[in-house]
Structure 1
Amino acid sequence: MTANTPTPSRPGLREGKTNEFTLFFNVKPGHAQQIRDFFKGVDRDKRRALADRIGTLHELRWVLFDDDTRLLFASSFDGEWDAYIDDFAALIPDTFDAVLQHTEDYPGIKDPSIKDFVVAHQVSACNYLRATPDATVKDTQKALRVNKTFQQLLDEAN
């Protein structure tokens, strides 16, 4: 991208350092159970480890709805939209391919058109509010480590 090329507009609301991210997909007929089975096959520790690889991800959820014909992916993240999508493609591509292959028109996470696909399925929230809008994932993790150490010092002093 050259300096004179404007950055494309990306959907999603931002509060402080955090962005909301909401995608809706049409599930291929008869494929909802495969989506459920995928998540049942990945234990909680592995799911957390995959999410932690991203490093900017506050939380995420996948929801089948409308009689298993639609799929929601919602999350919030720190930083820029394009970097967030790049991280998914580079760090946890298999998860997205495993789930989204069961949705209509999914090109694959490594496909050059993936960002256009995501934009076409993303809807900005009507409202987005965070309790700590300026606390990034890294800030929160650091604060928890500091607090743990501080609490240990207090415990040892007693």
Structure 2
Amino acid sequence: MDITTPQMVAIPKETDHLEQGKYGPIFPRTPACYGFTIIADIKPGRAEAIRNHGHTLVNALESDPHLLAPLKLHYLRWVLFDDDTRFLYQGIFDTDFDKYTEDAVALFSKVGVSTVFENLVGFPEDWKSNPEAFVRYVREHQCPSFIEYGEYPYVTAAEIKKALRVKSALSEMLDQMQ
């Protein structure tokens, strides 16, 4: 696989032919790795709680930069829109959907952190003890991609970090030679 040539794939609308995982179809790994987008209604008056939850996660990551490492994330994006009545969650990561969601439930339960999804209409209150309900909610609110592009296709976050460490070490070595 040539990781230096950008690639794009079209993802079929029909999922009947896809391998079935524990919680439904396993979407294929794309040049952008794995990921999903959720769009959901916010419980009335909870938009500020979502913003505050974001700040809580920022502070938690400042204390422990590796807090979210088990999720194998590349990127995570939260968006409030439609006058703070709807929420978009977009994550790009290196594991398939089933593993990511199970890891997320386990991680948040372990560290005693709530999920931002608790502020969304219809999110199950028993999500910590009922991962299936968590996954069902995510699946019901998922908006699958139909095109995904990767400038450096199929490269994991770990591979990117390794390449950056090599680059840094090489730069340091070259600086010392001068």
Q: Which TM-score tier does this pair reach, normalised by the shorter chain?
A: 0.7 to 0.9
TM-score for the superposition, normalised by structure 2: 0.74
Q: 1:110 to 1:73 in 2, by over 3 A?
A: farther
Which structure 2 segments of 5+ residues have no match?
1-18
**1:105 lines up with 2:122 in the alignment:** yes
Work out the number of aligned pairs and report it. Answer: 151
The answer for unaligned runs of 5 or more in structure 1 is: none
Residue 113 of structure 1 aligns to a residue whose secondary structure is helix
Question: Which of 17, 36, 52 is the equivalent residue of 1:21?
Answer: 36
Secondary structure at 1:62 match in 2: strand
Q: Which residue of 2 aligns with 1:131?
A: 151
Given the alignment, which residue of 55, 71, 79 partners 1:63? 79
Determine the C-alpha separation between the residues in 2 that align with 1:37 and 1:6.
36
Q: What letter matches 2:33 in structure 1?
A: T
Counterparts of 2:20 and 2:75 in 1: how far apart (Å)?
A: 30
Query: Once the two structures are superposed, what CA deviation does each residue of 1:57-80 show, in whole Å capped at 9, x if it has no partner?
Result: 000011110111100000111121
- Structure 1 CA distance for aligned equivalents of residues 38 and 64 of structure 2: 19
With the length of structure 1 as denominator, give the TM-score of the two structures. 0.83
Q: What is the CA distance between 1:148 and its match in structure 2? A: 0.9
1:147 aligns with 167
Partner residue in 2 for 1:76: 92
Establish whether residue 32 from structure 1 lines up as the match of residue 52 from structure 2. Answer: no
Give percent identity, aligned residues only.
Answer: 30
Matched residue SS, 1:143: helix
Q: Distance in 2 between matches of 1:37 and 1:18?
A: 29
Measure how far apart 1:49 and its partner are: 3.6
Instruction: Say which SS state the counterpart of residue 92 (structure 1) adopts.
Output: helix
> Residues 66 and 101 of structure 1: is their aligned pair in 2 closer, same or farther, counting only changes over 3 Å?
same
CA RMSD in angstroms, aligned pairs only = 2.3
Alpha-carbon distance in structure 1 between the residues aligned to 2:37 and 2:64: 19
Match for residue 116 of structure 1? Answer: 136
The answer on whether the counterparts of 2:35 and 2:97 sit within 8 Å (CA) in structure 1 is no
Counterparts of 1:119 and 1:35, CA distance in 2: 20
Tell me by how many angstroms 1:125 deviates: 1.6
Contact 1:18 1:77 in 2 (8 A): yes
Q: Could you tell me whether the CA contact under 8 Å between 2:32 and 2:153 is conserved in 1? A: yes
